[in-house]
Amino acid sequence: MATQNNAPAGGMRDFLPVEAGRRQAVIHTIQEVYRTWGFLPLETPALERLATLQGKYGEEGENLMYKVLKRGAKLDRALASDPRPDDLADMGLRYDLTVPLARVMAAHQADLPAIFKRYQIQSVFRADRPARGRYREFSQCDVDIVGVAGVDAEADVLGAAAESLCRLGFKQPDDFTLRLNHRQVLAGLLARAGIPEQLAGEAMVAVDKADKIGLDGVRRELAERGIAPAAGDTFLTMASDMSELASTKELLTILADWLGDSGPTGEGVADLKQLTDLLEAGPAAGRYRIDPLLARGLGYYTGAIYEVQFPDFSGSGGGGGRYDNLLGMFSGRSVPACGFSFGLERILLIMADRAMFGVGMERGPQVLVAQMDPAVAGHVHRAANQLRQAGLRTDLYPSAGRLGRQFRYAESQGIRYVALAGTSEAETGQLSVKDLETGEQTTLPLTDAVAHLKALLN
C-alpha cells in the first residue's frame, strides 16, 4: 500500500488555530468597517457554470482555471466520443469576485438597489505554480460601488479601506499610503510626452513595473515596447519632477497646467482634485499621494486607480479603480462602478511581521478551569459556565487528573490563569484562581472569583 500523503494538496493550506484565528479576526474587522460604511454583503457559489467563466479572464485565466469533471451519464457520453478537455467539465471554480458580481447584477437586477454598495470576502482558486506567498486557494476581499459615476464613490471606497487598515492597527500616518492616479491623466501625460495613443497601452504595462524594476528598468522596457527613447525619457522626467513636489495641491496645479481642463484628460485632473478634497474629510486624510507612475496592470480601468502601499514592503497591499465598462458583460447594460480589493494574505503577512497580533486578536482561551476530583464535576462545570457567561473565553479541562499536566496544557495553550475547584472549594461554593506566571493563588467565593478574573483580564 502506498504511503498516504497527509499534507494538503499542492498550493493549498491548512490554517491551524493561531493562523485561522488571525484570519477570522482580520476578516471580521474589515466586515464590520464595511458594514459601518453602509456596504452590504454578497456571497456567490464556489462553483459557476463553465460558460459563465469562460472568455472572461484571457488566455492565462483559461489555463489557471480549475474545472469540475462532469458526473454520471454525462461524463460517460463525453468520454464515448474522443473528448476535448472542455467537453469533460461542466463547472469551474470561482476565479475572482468581479465576474460573479457581474452575473449577480444580471440575474437579480430587480432585487438589487440602483446604487449597490457591496462587499464580498470569499476564496478564489487559481491553478498557478505554487511559490512563496502564492497559493492556489486564497481569499479576495472586494468592496465595490455599482451605479455611481462620480468620485464620491471612490472617496467612500477608499475611506472604508483606510478605516479598515486603521482598525487593524495601521494607525500612524505613515503606516500605509494610498497611491492615487487616473487612467485619463496617465494617458494625457503619455500623450504630452509624445507617446502615440496606439502605444499608450504598451507604455502603461511598462510603467506598471516601476515598483519592481525601477525607473531605469521602465526606460528599457518602454524602448523594448517600441516607444521612442526621447518620448520615454520625457515621460519619466515629468513623473520625477512631479514626485518631487511637496504637496498634492502643487501637483494638481502642475497637472492642470500641463494637461488643460477640457476633454477626458481635463476631467481626470478634476476627478483627482475632487477625490483628494473628499478624502480629506475622512480617515484617508493625510494618507494618500498622487503618483504619476501608478498604472495598475489590468486593462479594464477607466478612471481613478489606487493602491495601498506599506513602507518596507514592496508590492501593494490592495488596490482598485474605476471600471465603467465591465459589469455589463452579462446584462448588456453598461453600469458605472469602482472598487477596491485588499490583498488579504499580504496584510496578514505584514501584520505578523510587525507583531501586530495581540493574544486578544487571536482570541485564544483566557482561563483554564482545571478538574481535580470527578465527584465535584458539577461544581466545576458550573464555575466554567459562570466564567463564560461573564464573557471570559474559558477552556475546561475535560477530565479530572494530575494538576501538573493540566498546568502544562494551559501553558501550551498560552493560558495564564487557571481556576481550580477541589472537594473543599465545592463544599464551600468557592473557586481558587492561580496565576501561572507569578504562582500566586487566591481562593474566593465563586461570584467574587469570576469578578476577580474579569478584572485581571480587562
Span 166-195, contacts to its own copies by CB under 8 A: none
Distance CA 21, CA 26 (A): 9
Closest CB to its own copies among residues 93, 187 = 93
Closest distance of CB 383 from its own copies, Å: 9
Which grid cell is 273?
A: 482634485
Q: Which stretch binds its own copies (CB under 8 A): 28-36, 226-234, 295-303, 304-312?
A: 28-36
Is 352 a binder of its own copies (CB under 8 A)? no
Q: Around 426, how many Cα atoms within 13 Å sit in the side-chain half-sphere? A: 17
Ranges within 92-121 binding its own copies (CB under 8 A): 93, 103-104, 106-108, 111-115, 117-118
| Cβ count within 10 A of residue 82 | 7
**Scanning residues 311 to 330, which ones bind its own copies (CB under 8 A)?**
330
Which listed residue (188, 232, 268, 283) binds its own copies by CB under 8 A? 283
**Considering only 8-16, 191-199, 226-234, 299-307, which stretch makes contact with its own copies by CB under 8 A?**
8-16
Nearer to its own copies, 151 or 210 (CB): 151
Q: Does 3 bind its own copies (CB under 8 A)?
A: no
Task: Write the DSSP symbol of residue 45.
Answer: -
Q: Does 29 bind its own copies (CB under 8 A)?
A: no
Residues 327-346 that bind its own copies (CB under 8 A): 330-331
Residue 434 is a binding residue for its own copies (CB under 8 A): no
Q: Does residue 273 bind its own copies (CB under 8 A)?
A: no
**Closer residue to its own copies, CB minimum distance, 254 or 390:** 390
Q: Min. distance of Cβ 165 from its own copies in angstroms?
A: 15
Rama region for 343: left / alpha / beta (φ>0; ψ in -120 to 50; rest): beta
Are 209 and 280 contacting, i.e. CB atoms less than 8 angstroms apart? Answer: no
Does residue 46 interact with its own copies by CB under 8 A?
A: yes
d(CA 264, CA 340): 22
Check if the beta carbon of residue 262 is closer than 8 Å to that of residue 184.
Answer: no
Contact of 90 with 70, CB cutoff 8 Å: yes
Helix (H) or strand (E) holding 194: none
Task: Report which secondary-structure segment, H or E, holds 40.
Answer: strand 40-41
Q: Which stretch binds its own copies (CB under 8 A): 169-177, 227-235, 271-279, 319-327?
A: 271-279
CB nearer to its own copies: pick between 26 and 193: 26
Q: Which is nearer to its own copies, 354 or 393 (CB)?
A: 393
Site pattern 360..399 for its own copies (x: CB under 8 A): ---xxx--x--x-----xxx-xx-xx--x--xxxxxxxxx
The CA distance from 204 to 201, in Å, is 5
Q: Which residues are CB-neighbours of 18 under 8 A, at least 6 positions away?
A: 362, 364
Which positions from 56 to 95 touch its own copies by CB under 8 A, shown as an x/- string?
-------x--xxxx-xx--x---x---x-x--xx-x-x--
- Cβ atoms within 10 Å, residue 439: 7
Using CB under 8 A, which residues numbered 238 to 267 contact its own copies? none
To 5 degrees, how large is the angle CA 450–CA 452–CA 457? 95
Q: What b/e sequence results for 142-178 when a residue is b if at least 16 CB atoms lie within 10 Å of its CB, and e otherwise?
A: bbbbbbbeebebbbbbbbbbbbbbbbbbbeeeebbbb
Q: Does 349 bind its own copies (CB under 8 A)?
A: no
Q: Looking at 20, 230, 359, 451, which residue binds its own copies (CB under 8 A)?
A: 20
Three-point CA angle 337, 137, 140, nearest 5°: 25
For its own copies, the closer of residues 181 and 366 by Cβ is 366
